[in-house]
Amino acid sequence: MIEVQSLNHTFKIGKKGKEKKIEVLKNIDFHINQGEIIAIVGKSGSGKSTLLQVVAGFMKPDTGSVKVNNTEIAKFNEKQSAAFRLDHFGFIFQNFQLLPNQNVFENVELPLKLKGVQPSIRKHNVEKILEKVGLSHVADHYPNELSGGQQQRVSIARALITNPPIILADEPTGSLDSQTEIEILDLIKHLNKSANITFMIITHDEEVAQIAHRKLRMHDGLLLGDVKHVI
Ligand SMILES: Nc1ncnc2c1ncn2[C@@H]1O[C@H](COP(=O)(O)OP(=O)(O)OP(=O)(O)O)[C@@H](O)[C@H]1O
């Protein structure tokens, strides 16, 4: 489903002429099968978020290949990447990234608007997904009126609304207390089992990594180990 080969990325920092190069991704190879939950673990600064940004097409690698369902996406231009993302990826972030001036319904509806889906179909699909994540009763609330767990459920609903086969998650429970973390991880496991959604989860939390079928460890730009793990 996702096949990453020989991926390299370097950031240049500092003034022109005196630039310092930081090699953040060093010859990364890995694959993710359909229906898998993969955790990318590793210390802060090891390159996990950069890897997710490159897989999502937000950032272009210096060299290497990223294939999703056999389509090479690493060399897409911005417009192609954005269109591909809408059809293939949903995103969950640590800080939820909800629009503060839009209510729950409108936040979840947004990706469908971007895809040009008709209003009546949008309404039907948003209502269905809000029911699925247990948020129908707060559809007209604004993000600041919700708990952290509820806000993360809204962002999960927004990630799911376009029916993507893959969800990319960057520290999805990083802002949540331990009880809410368990609820969100249960929801992720349920979505994986019931809808066969593939998850790539970036985390430095071993609890989160426990729900993964495989753990890949990043260390200083290198991807180490491929630890088999059964849920
Ligand atoms: N836009 C950027 N410009 C320059 N350097 C960057 C940029 N983004 C990240 N870096 C550097 O790349 C390295 C890897 O960062 P990255 O955010 O990918 O690590 P991470 O493993 O996700 O860390 P964390 O767990 O803290 O989020 C760090 O040294 C970071 O300072």
Structural domains in the chain plus CATH codes? 2-228 (3.40.50.300)
> Could you report the per-residue pLDDT of 95-146, keeping only the tens digit for each?
999 999 999 999 999 999 999 999 999 999 999 999 989 999 999 999 999 9
Report the distance separating Cα 81 and Cα 71, nearest Å: 12
ipTM computed for the complex: 0.95
Q: Where are the alpha helices (DSSP H) in the chain?
A: 48-56, 78-88, 104-114, 119-132, 148-160, 178-195, 206-209
Nearest to 213 by CA among 199, 194, 196: 199
pTM for the complete prediction?
A: 0.92
pLDDT in tens, the chain (231 residues): 999 999 999 999 888 888 899 999 999 999 999 999 999 999 899 999 999 999 999 999 999 999 999 999 999 999 999 999 999 999 999 999 999 999 999 999 999 999 999 999 999 999 999 998 999 999 999 999 999 999 999 999 999 999 999 999 999 998 888 888 998 899 899 999 999 999 999 998 888 999 999 999 999 999 986 655 543
140, 142, 148, 152: CA torsion to nearest 10: 70
Ligand 1 center to 49 CA (angstroms) = 7
Ligand 1 center to 50 CA (angstroms) = 6
For residue 80, the one-letter residue type is Q
Ligand 1 center to 48 CA (angstroms) = 8
Indicate which atom in ligand 1 lies nearest the CA of residue 49: 22
Q: What is the C-alpha radius of gyration for the chain, rounded to an integer number of angstroms?
A: 18
